[in-house]
Amino acid sequence: MNSIEKLMRKFEPDHDGKWAKFHPVWDGFFTILFTPGETTQKGAHIRDGVDLKRTMMMVIIALIPCLLFGIYNTGHWHYIATGETTAYMDMFGAKVGYGLMKVLPLVIVSYGVGLGVEFIFAIKNQHSIQEGFLVSGMLIPLIVPADVPLWMLAIAVIFAVVIGKEVFGGTGMNIINVALTARAFLFFGYPTKMSGNDVWMSGISDVAKRPDGYTGATPLGDLASFASDEWVYESVDKFSDKWSLMDSIFGFIPGSVGETSMIAIGIGALILLGTGIASWRIMLSFVIGGLAMGYLFNATAVNPFMELNPIHQIALGGFAFGAVFMITDPVTAAQTNTGKYIYGFLAGFFAILVRVFNPAFPEGVMMAILFFNILAPLIDHYVVQANIKRRLKRLKTKTA
């Protein structure tokens, strides 16, 4: 490694030389391999022996199980949707191969476009490459359908990096989650590619190959069907027979690339909690908030969606993925310990509320997290003010 470091040092642009403006690009690659000697001046701070890039790389490692399962599940539902069958081992390889060819371009475009924008801003503003997109670049492909057009994804990434982060000052200064900003842009800008029954299974929009009567609806799409008087199940139990809790736990349901498997997400959660990167307070309170809303719906059920088992409710859609990788974003989340409990609980509570009460928008996790990203500073403000008042009260009691 010493020889590699010496080689890279040899090509380091002088700060006042001909290639000085490209120093941030060199620094970005150098600090991926070697720990920099500088300390963070603003934005996100790491109070540990590991620097910010190493922290971000640990989150990427935690996302790998979701990525690998997403690759397989993309191929799995493609072959179910198109009615193609073959021997089990041959099919396993075919599923992985098809999924890899669909998911890998999403990852390449996300990183290529996002880091390209980062390099442009770093060169223009003469600051070092910021580490935040190392994680956002992996998150974005995992929260979109496998068939989303690559040019749409590229535009969404540019929007998320520029409007969601750079206009606020870069990594550590953004007020909303960058990856969810990209998803929100796609959802509102190109709704036909982010909702409906033809986007969640790769290749199902090819009507010529679709088996007669086959639908590509997700479990949440099926649950939302009651609002249009097209409820296709005799009871919520019939729904659970088709989309079982175990299917959701293992991940064999249609959906966004990396959001379906609770087992894969759980492995990532253990990595983040074990390394102390994610806040268990936010993660736990988010799940409790979702369960609380689910049980409240059970007690006051007036439609099939409200009758669904709360545990099954939080196993569907992007709730688990949001609980582990989105709501725990240290930049956009609440910072005080008490605030983390409040922030997580309310976000989980509202995620299920939006999902059930607005069937036209069956996944409420994105909107709930973005909404409480904005409210996080306000939550922290009132927590701090409450602490100040309690301390002043104790001080007055002691001096009386």
The C-alpha atoms of residue 156 and residue 183 are separated, in whole angstroms, by 7
User: Could you tell me the maximum CA-CA distance found in the chain, to the nearest angstrom?
Assistant: 84
106 and 152 Cβ atoms separated by less than 8 Å: no
* Tokens representing residue 73 in the block: 């599940």
Taking the chain, what is the end-to-end CA distance rounded to the nearest angstrom? 65
What per-residue confidence (pLDDT) applies to 231? Answer: 64
The C-alpha atoms of residue 240 and residue 274 are separated, in whole angstroms, by 33
| Alpha-carbon distances, residue 281 vs 130, 278, 370 (angstroms) | 27, 9, 18
What per-residue confidence (pLDDT) applies to 12? Answer: 63
What per-residue confidence (pLDDT) applies to 119? Answer: 81
The C-alpha atoms of residue 217 and residue 196 are separated, in whole angstroms, by 7
Within 13 Å, how many C-alpha atoms sit on residue 324's CB side?
29
What per-residue confidence (pLDDT) applies to 40? Answer: 56
The C-alpha atoms of residue 263 and residue 395 are separated, in whole angstroms, by 50
What per-residue confidence (pLDDT) applies to 206? Answer: 62
Other Cβ atoms less than 10 A from the Cβ of 374: the count is 11
Phi/psi of residue 334, nearest 5 degrees: -65, 150
User: pLDDT tens string for the chain (400 positions)?
Assistant: 567 666 656 556 665 665 555 556 556 555 655 555 555 555 555 455 456 667 888 999 999 999 999 999 999 888 887 777 555 556 677 888 899 999 999 999 999 999 888 888 877 776 666 666 889 999 999 999 999 999 999 999 999 999 998 888 777 788 999 999 999 999 999 988 888 777 888 877 664 445 444 455 678 877 776 655 566 676 778 888 888 899 999 999 988 999 999 999 999 999 999 988 999 999 999 999 999 999 999 999 887 788 889 999 999 989 999 999 999 998 899 999 999 999 999 999 999 999 888 766 667 899 999 999 999 999 999 999 999 998 888 887 777 6
The C-alpha atoms of residue 147 and residue 151 are separated, in whole angstroms, by 11
| Alpha-carbon distances, residue 351 vs 153, 288, 292, 348, 364 (angstroms) | 24, 12, 11, 5, 5
Phi/psi of residue 275, nearest 5 degrees: -90, -5
